[in-house]
Structure 1
Amino acid sequence: MDVIQQLVNMGNEVISWMQLLGIPASAIAFGVGGFQQIFGGAEGLRKAKPWYIGGAIGLIFILGASAIASFLKMKITF
């Protein structure tokens, strides 16, 4: 196994670990946002929006990283 293949395998492992940690983190962000929206009173939605937006953007980046990595793996050859 050459160095390039080892780097590719390491990159795939890093992405899978990011997904294992990132998906629950985004669920926690949505939960905190929901808690703030429910119990935040009149300002609840305003306080919850940054949590919702951050959780959604993080989830998109995490899931998109896997798709981008698999696309590049198919298209790039050394």
Structure 2
Amino acid sequence: MEKPIAYTEHAKVAMSERGLDPEWVEASVRNPQWVEADPDDPEVVRHFRSVPEHGGRYLRVALVETVAEFRILSAFFDRRARPK
């Protein structure tokens, strides 16, 4: 069974305002191209994945992973993101 994905209220609003498809976010969470630690919060990780439907731009998803779920904090297209 796959771990469920939960969205904070901020993430829901950000995704709506930015026109982000939940499928893009889920793909980034479950199959990231790369992962980085958040420099400001050791509990937060950033998952990155290119989105072909959006010109190949990289979607950054900030999340906290627990044993029970992935909790999405925010998501946006990161203009500075480059694969490692």
Structure having the larger proportion of residues in strand: 2
Query: TM-score, normalized by length of structure 2?
Result: 0.22
Structure 1-normalised TM-score? 0.23
